[in-house]
Each structure stands twice: as structure tokens, then as C-alpha cells.
Amino acid sequence: MRLRGQEEAPIELLIGVTVLTFVLIIAYYVYENASSQQCVEKIKATSAELASVISQVAQGGPGTTRYFSADFSCEDTSTRISYVIIGKGNKQTCRSLFGRPDCYMLYVFGNVSGNLQLVHAEVLQNVFSPPKMDVGGSTLELTCDYNTLIKGQCGRDMEMPARIYSMRISKQADGSVLISGVD
């Protein structure tokens, strides 16, 4: 008399291991996707907050100052934020939002699956003159236009690499917004 259960056990074990392997692969994929989405949402929220603070300062009088801590760091493996930069918006967007050809935007560029891409953009409300950034003692006017930004051809000195920043954002006597503490 033969015991059938013992003959079928290796096949059942092989099927069980195969199913478990597929479940683990799917779980890993879901985890990676959720992590990537959380990273992008965090960057969008930080960008929106920073744009709001810059817009509030621009709306205030000379001497208006706000301090802001921006966290542009991300530990996600598929989306790496490369840099954040302020530049001119494209003319169509500016006309549709403000009825004028010039406006300024906060752009977030990232390395998404090996390609440099625009991850997020925020319009800077009430900012109609070029914002300035104090970088290492030099004040730079942020005048790079949208088409140059998209091609990645703006000066590297205007980029903020992805990390945590403590910023001082103030309105100057000439009406411009100065962002300092970024170095």
C-alpha cells in the first residue's frame, strides 16, 4: 500500500513557494508605488506652502518678513528631486491667470525613472517683479524663463538642491522679494 500524500507533498510545496513569491513581488511593487506617491505629495505640499509664503510677503509692504523651513528631501528610490528653482511662467499661463504676460512660478524638477522631469509647479501670486535670491553673499535675480528652465539651461547658481532649507523671505524697498538663507 502506497501513501499518496507523501508523493504529492513536493508538488504542493512547489506551488506554495511559487504563490508566495508572486505575493511578495506584488507587495514590493505596491510599497514602492506608495512610497513614490508619498514623496511627490510631500514635495507638492512643501512647494505650495513656500509659494504661499512668498506670495504673502510680496503682497505686504517693504520690510515684510517671513521665515520658512522647506523640506525638499525625499528618500524615494524612483523619484529623486533634483532641484527647486523660481523662474518666469510661460506667457499663456500668466495671461490666463493674471491677464498679463509675465508672472513667476516655483518649479520642482526631479529625476523620475532616470529622466529629468518637471515634477510640480506653483504660481507665485502677487509676484510681478523678478524675485531675488541671496546665495553665498551674491544677490541673483531669478529671471530664467519657462522654456530655458524646461531645457535645464538655467544657471546652476539659481538652483536649490533637494534638501531641507531654512529661509528668510522679505520684501525689499524696491518692491522685490528677497529669499535668503539658501546656500
124 is written with which cell numbers?
Answer: 507665485
The reply to whether 8 falls in a domain is: no
Model confidence at 19: pLDDT above 80: yes
**DSSP conformation class of 154:** S
Length of the chain: 183
Dihedral sign from CA coordinates of 96, 100, 101, 104:
negative
Domain membership of residue 16 (yes or no) is no
Least confident of 13-22, 39-48, 75-84, 113-122: 75-84
What pTM was estimated for this model as a whole? 0.68
Confirm whether 66 is domain-assigned.
Answer: yes
Domain of residue 119, residue span: 30-180
Residue 115 included in any domain: yes
Tally of CB atoms within 10 A around 149? 22
* Matching residue, cell 528668510: 168
Residue 11 lies in a domain: no
Is residue 83 assigned to a domain? yes
Domain count, the chain: 1
CB contact set of 127 (below 8 Å; sequence gap of 6+): 54, 55, 58, 103, 104, 177
Grid cell listed for 183: 546656500
3-state secondary structure 57-80: HHHCCCCCEEEEEEECCCCCCCEE
Is pLDDT of 149 > 50?
yes
The highest-confidence range among 8-12, 147-151, 176-180, by mean pLDDT, is 176-180
Q: pLDDT at residue 85 above 80?
A: no
Structure confidence at residue 6 (pLDDT): 61
| Lateral strand order in the sheet of 160-161 | 115-124, 104-112, 79-88, 160-161
Better pLDDT: 100 or 7: 100
What the block records as the C-alpha cell of 145 is 524663463
Asked, for residue 2, whether it belongs to a domain, the answer is no
Residue 4 lies in a domain: no
